[in-house]
Structure 1
Amino acid sequence: MPASNPITGAPNGVSMRPIPVRRAWKNGGISFALLTTCLALVACATKPLVPYTTDTPPLALVPASEAGVQDKRARFREIYCAVLEAHGPALPDYRACEDALTRVGTEPAGSGASVDLGQSRRHLIAAVVPGIGYDCFKPWLNSPGTVTKQLQQFGYDGVMLDVDGLSSSTHNAHQIRDAIMAMQLSAGAAQLVLVGYSKGVADILEAVVAYPEIRSRVAAVVSAAGAVGGSPLANDAEQYQADMLRHFPGATCTSGDGGAVQSLRPATRKAWMAQNPLPNELRYYSLVTFPQPERISSILKSSYDKLSRVDARNDSQVIFYDQVVPGSALLGYVNADHWALAVPVARTHTMIGSLFVTQNAYPREALTEAILRFVEEDLATSGK
């Protein structure tokens, strides 16, 4: 097989015929191809260097003794299972708990303690920072907002923080700072749970380090399929390829400072982590996507295979150990690919879902509720 472009998947030297925006808008499959061209980072399939297996230490390459990671999977499983049992069947994309989470290595036994499914006492707010390019395809995605509606039923809330999808984490950190400082929050205990999806967690970590004034408003930071250690896929990508998202149907995004791809490179992220200790007054949590191979959507299999040249234990965009914040509490391993965790393509574009994003269904409403319930309980136990 000839060498291929790491973004488009086309053999090097073969031109890609441009697709008129008007035709892309009319044809869902073609318009979606533009999204996958820019985000999936696809390439020719290759044999994994590390075979897929869940029979591995739960914190492989991120030893608890070195990174201070606490294994909280047992209690999170109890809470998530309770939420799924109580609320899941009435919500979209219901899954049984055993299928919703992947068991990796030896998972500790649960405590058996009861799970409070009542109203939130602390009224936590999930403030989500999305991944690369989200502001470009957000109008097309037209997400229904059902996660926030679910949270509000129980005294929680959810908001999306607007950041530049094509800018660096340093640039976006300042935007996060400004958004947090502008919020009207209740006096007293911190309410914000900053949830970073994909590149969003890098933006958040830079924000809490660079702007200490926001820390009193932040209860916790959650990495959700976060690119804490970057992604090897970004090593072969260039910013101009990500900039193609500016031509996505309905997009109004700009190139920003043009640093998004650079921010995702492993060398960039690891150097930043080494030079910037995280504030110890905040609590950190990691939710890792570690799907069974059959849970990878067909359109993402090429990027999954490419990343498998490094390690087959990936979600099609990020290797599982690169999603863990040092010093965090590990919540669990989610049996979903990178998009299924947070980008509900199949719900609003059913034809694309049936043809391309074939494993996009996931109970995100129940998952988000479980995250906030776990964080609230953990903060109360720790006295934070």
Structure 2
Amino acid sequence: MRASDLFPEPPQAVAGQPAGGVRARLTGGVLPGVIAACLVLGGCASKPLIPYSTDTPPLALLPASQSGVQDKRARFREIFCAVLQARGPELPDYRPCEDALNRIGTEPAGTGKPVDLGPSMRHLVAVVVPGIGYECFEPWLNAPGTVPKHLREFGYDGMLLKVDALSGSANNARQIRDAIMAMPPAAGAPRLVLVGYSKGAPDILQAVVAYPEIRSRVAAVVTAAGAVGGSALANDAEQYQADMLRHFPGATCDSGDGGAVESLRPAIRKAWLAGNPLPRDVRYYSLVTLPRPERISSILTSSYDKLARIDGRNDSQVIFYDQIVPGSTLMGYVNADHWALAVPIARTHTTIGSMFVTQNAYPREALTEAVLRFVEEDLAAPGPARGGM
């Protein structure tokens, strides 16, 4: 989640009021704040989002198949569809499989292999590293915790790894390292699947490169709507704008090292990728958010339109090709915007959901189960670990 695309009003400001009162409060108090917040990064500036510069590594935009990326979308689709069919409407925000995933280009044919929906044999644990600002608005969001609860029914588990909300990736990489090393090592094969959402993706990649001692404890790295190559929106933003999240109602975050926005700039991310080949003893998986335009929440259309000046294939925060880890396995293209993938705003704040975060519903429980089932199956397949270029 981006620093500026947040709601500055606490839920209790509109709770318990009649519809007319709620609308008045939204019009007179919440709505201007929402619009102002979104315009910080989705504003009207006419300057290029990626300015002219010679301070960049040589770059090339290539088909994924020519950049060391393995295309396994077909198998992930089989697994996700099987999970959705088996769990059905029992889980929140159900969608048919063809609406949950997008087909981009020529997707390979499915394998036809059966999908094991029984208890996990490896008991993988999804360790989620969140995006920018999460610690600041986490109390307000009051997420229901349904994803870990669902995973435990099938022998998996999930947890959130706390990192600084407003610090740069190098600082957060150290926190990831310390948190992993503080966990009791699991007997047998490693079970930790590091899941980097948004800025959490580069935070994890830096940790894996900088701290080799954690690699033996990590089963895999998954990036989900990851800002792997950065976001051009960060070129038009400053850290002081992100720092305003410290004043979000109920926030307990601090300014950290003040490097969050800079660490999301494309020039920084691409230079880091060029100078830091990913270690090959870890498996990497990329899950990309590439929604159909009608699946962008109304509050995110300004930032979507701004990024569309570069490429209309974006999730309102990150362009689709900047979400893929070099040398990774491509799992799929999710038909959801940047928030809908991982931040359940509409589930806990229905008024805001119905008026502003209008496309926030997504079957996250089923998606997370499918991700872990896919990774578990892929890790068990023969072949060398992949990563790097």
C-alpha contact (below 8 Å) 2:295/2:337 kept by paired residues = yes
Distance verdict in 2 for CA 1:333–1:357, change over 3 Å: same
Aligned-residue Cα RMSD (Å) equals 2.5
Shift in Å, 1:81: 0.1
Shift in Å, 1:8: 7.4
Letter in 2 for 1:79: I
Partner of 2:69: 69
* Cα distance in 2 for residues equivalent to 1:295 and 1:349: 19
Partner of 1:244: 244
Partner of 1:149: 149
The TM-score with structure 1 as length reference comes to 0.88
The question of 1:323 aligning with 2:310 is answered: no
C-alpha contact (below 8 Å) 1:35/1:245 kept by paired residues = no
Question: CA offsets, 1:183-215, max 9 Å, x none?
Answer: 124211010000000000000000000000000
Gaps of 5+ in 2: 16-25, 50-59
Letter in 1 for 2:140: W
* Cα distance in 2 for residues equivalent to 1:24 and 1:258: 28
Distance verdict in 2 for CA 1:42–1:83, change over 3 Å: same
Letter in 2 for 1:196: G
Q: Percent identity?
A: 74
Question: CA offsets, 1:154-208, max 9 Å, x none?
Answer: 0000000000010000000000001111112421101000000000000000000
C-alpha contact (below 8 Å) 2:168/2:257 kept by paired residues = yes
C-alpha contact (below 8 Å) 1:132/1:198 kept by paired residues = yes
Moved over 6 A (4+): 6-9, 21-24
Partner of 1:174: 174
* Cα distance in 2 for residues equivalent to 1:341 and 1:355: 19
* Cα distance in 2 for residues equivalent to 1:223 and 1:32: 32
Partner of 1:42: 42
Partner of 1:202: 202
How many matched pairs?
A: 358
Shift in Å, 1:63: 2.6
Letter in 2 for 1:192: L
* Cα distance in 1 for residues equivalent to 2:242 and 2:372: 32
Distance verdict in 2 for CA 1:25–1:45, change over 3 Å: farther
Partner of 2:96: 96
SS of 1:382 mapped into structure 2 = coil
1:78-97 correspondence runs (5 A): 78-97=78-97
Gaps of 5+ in 1: 1-5, 10-18, 50-59
C-alpha contact (below 8 Å) 2:177/2:214 kept by paired residues = yes
C-alpha contact (below 8 Å) 2:3/2:132 kept by paired residues = no
Distance verdict in 2 for CA 1:255–1:104, change over 3 Å: same
Shift in Å, 1:238: 0.1
Letter in 2 for 1:277: P
C-alpha contact (below 8 Å) 2:9/2:30 kept by paired residues = no
C-alpha contact (below 8 Å) 2:65/2:71 kept by paired residues = no
C-alpha contact (below 8 Å) 2:341/2:362 kept by paired residues = yes
Partner of 2:377: 377
Letter in 2 for 1:374: F
Distance verdict in 2 for CA 1:33–1:114, change over 3 Å: farther
Shift in Å, 1:43: 1.8
* Cα distance in 1 for residues equivalent to 2:332 and 2:161: 24
Shift in Å, 1:67: 2.1
1:160-239 correspondence runs (5 A): 160-239=160-239
The TM-score with structure 2 as length reference comes to 0.87
SS of 2:42 mapped into structure 1 = coil
C-alpha contact (below 8 Å) 1:88/1:94 kept by paired residues = yes
* Cα distance in 1 for residues equivalent to 2:37 and 2:242: 5
Letter in 1 for 2:188: G
Partner of 2:352: 352
Question: CA offsets, 1:210-254, max 9 Å, x none?
Answer: 000000000100110000000000000000001111110100100
C-alpha contact (below 8 Å) 1:130/1:200 kept by paired residues = yes
C-alpha contact (below 8 Å) 1:230/1:266 kept by paired residues = yes
* Cα distance in 2 for residues equivalent to 1:247 and 1:159: 26
Distance verdict in 2 for CA 1:33–1:174, change over 3 Å: farther
SS of 1:286 mapped into structure 2 = strand
C-alpha contact (below 8 Å) 2:170/2:206 kept by paired residues = yes
* Cα distance in 2 for residues equivalent to 1:27 and 1:264: 33
Letter in 2 for 1:26: A
* Cα distance in 2 for residues equivalent to 1:22 and 1:208: 37
Distance verdict in 2 for CA 1:190–1:303, change over 3 Å: same
